[in-house]
Amino acid sequence: MEYRNIFLEEARPCGYLYVDGFLKQLCAIFGRKIPVNLVIDFLILAHRIEKDGLIAACEKNEVVGFALMTRNPSRFFVRIVISGFFPVIAKFFKGRYRGISLSRSIQSILEFILFFRTSAGTAKNIKTGQVITMVVARNMRGKGIGANLLVKGLEYLKKYVCAVKLEVKEENLPAIGLYKKYGFVEIGRVRSRVGTSKIMVKYFKN
């Protein structure tokens, strides 16, 4: 298994991998029309903003899992909004995201803001990165790929921050167990349309 940064052209397969991994949550947000193109475009923007934080697990040159980390969550999402807002709106009207509700998309952005408001006070006055997402192909789970992606991501973030936060569904016990194993502790919870999520943080030792 090879672990490396994602190539730009791999944004599409990563987008499909993400949709498959988070199908239930995406259906709760967007309904039956899953926004694969929206996810792909987000990953393209993420690659431009913080490509070193996009880490892939590859087997025979095929991406079977990936993680997205950022060393500055606020700046990351501000840049996503600034660089992507008008292109996304234009693509909505051009039909690239046909079937997706614009109002639901805006509501999802508001839920992101809620997450940041809930977690911001937990690590004041220190530099805090974030695990934005991590997913492994269904047929490749249970092989330690998620753990290796997490380790690679933490190695990247440790160079720049003193702590790392993340959000995880409270029923996702395997993921919660993994995060606890690597030193994450729960510091809050946030509720949305997709249910209740735990906010967890890990502090790096000096």
- Per residue in 19-56, pLDDT tens? 898 888 777 767 777 778 888 888 999 999 999 999 99
107-160 confidence digits (pLDDT tens): 665 665 565 555 555 555 688 899 999 999 999 999 999 999 999 999 999 999
E-state strands within the chain: 2-5, 54-59, 62-70, 128-136, 163-169, 185-192, 195-203
Which long-range CB contacts under 8 A does 9-12 form with residues at least 24 apart? 10/56, 10/63, 11/40, 11/43, 11/44, 11/47, 12/40
What's the pLDDT at 55?
97
The count of structural domains within the chain is 1
Tell me if 51 sits within 8 A of 66, measured CB to CB. Answer: no
Residue pair 182/151 in contact by the 8 Å Cβ criterion: yes
Query: 189: which strand partners?
Result: 198
Mean pLDDT of the chain: 84
Q: Residue 2 — φ and ψ, nearest 5°?
A: -105, 135
**What band does 84 get if pLDDT is binned at 50, 70 and 90?**
confident
pLDDT tens track for 147-202: 999 999 999 999 999 999 998 989 999 999 999 999 999 988 877 766 788 889 99
Q: Which domain holds residue 23?
A: 2-203
Q: Tell me, what CATH number does 192's domain have? A: 3.40.630.30
pTM of the predicted model as reported, rounded to 2 decimal places: 0.85
State the distance between the two ends of the chain, measured CA to CA, in whole angstroms.
31
The number of residues making up the chain comes to 206
